[in-house]
Structure 1
């Protein structure tokens, strides 16, 4: 078979040794660095994937944290609104209570005023009765001088009192 190629056995062995040396050198200087480069590239890709996964986990954790904070802030907002409503209701109750208190004090003052007016009216009535009594006494004295009957005097007093009409 070697002779069919036109080579002698020594040449063929020499070519094979050269080929093996060449393969060895290529393996040492090209193939292994190429494999190392592929391994390095594979490792860098794996590192990038791991890093991306780590970043995704961190992002998920942050998202969960933000979600918890949002829920917490919403709860605080509801609590603030609830407290504001309670304060407003309390203030409204206080205003209503104050209005009732003022209304009661106005009613008490009005009742006092009515009582004062009533006493004033009674005092005026006493004065009018005293005036009428004096007028009656005057008429009785006049009549007793003129010797007119007392029944007639009383009728005249009542008639004059009716003309004057009682003052309130």
Structure 2
């Protein structure tokens, strides 16, 4: 069979040995390092995927933690706003109550002042009426002595009262 190809048996064995040596050299220097490199690459990809999965889990945990924190902060913010509103409402009620109290005090003082003015006016009026009555009595007595008519006396009293500033 080898002879039919035009190669002698010695040449065939020589080619076969060369081929086996070549396959051995390629296996030792190229194929095994290539397989080792593929195995290392496969392992590095697996490690990278595992690391990525771990990183994703950690990121998810952090995200959940941040979401919880944000929810807590939002609730605290709503609580702060609620408390501030309650304090503002209480202050508004206090201010309104104080204003109402001051208004009531002012009204009471005004009423007291009005009452005092009224009493003073009454006293002044009594004094004016008393002075007018005394003046009228003096004139009547004076005119009775002079025998002058009472109507003329009353007219004279009214005229004198108007001239002194007393007005009805």
Q: TM-score range by the shorter chain?
A: 0.7 to 0.9
The counterpart of 2:157, out of the listed 155, 160, 164, is 160
Backbone CA RMSD of aligned residues: 3.1
* Partner residue, 1:68: 68
Hey, what does 2:30 align to over in structure 1?
30
2:125 maps to 125
Aligned match of 1:50: 50
Per the TM alignment, residue 48 of structure 1 is displaced from its structure 2 partner at its CA by 1.3
More relative contact order, 1 or 2 (CA 8 Å, 6+ apart): 1
Q: In 2, Cα distance between the equivalents of 1:156 and 1:148?
A: 7
Q: Which sections of structure 2, spanning at least 5 residues, go unmatched?
A: none
Match of 2:3 in 1: 3
Query: In structure 2, what is the equivalent of residue 116 of structure 1?
Result: 116
Report if the CA contact (8 A) 2:2-2:8 is conserved: yes
Unpaired runs of 5+ residues, structure 1, are: none
If the length of structure 2 is used for normalisation, what is the TM-score? 0.74
Q: TM-score, normalised by structure 1?
A: 0.74
2:78 corresponds to which residue? 78
Shift of 1:25: 4.8
- Count of equivalent residues: 164
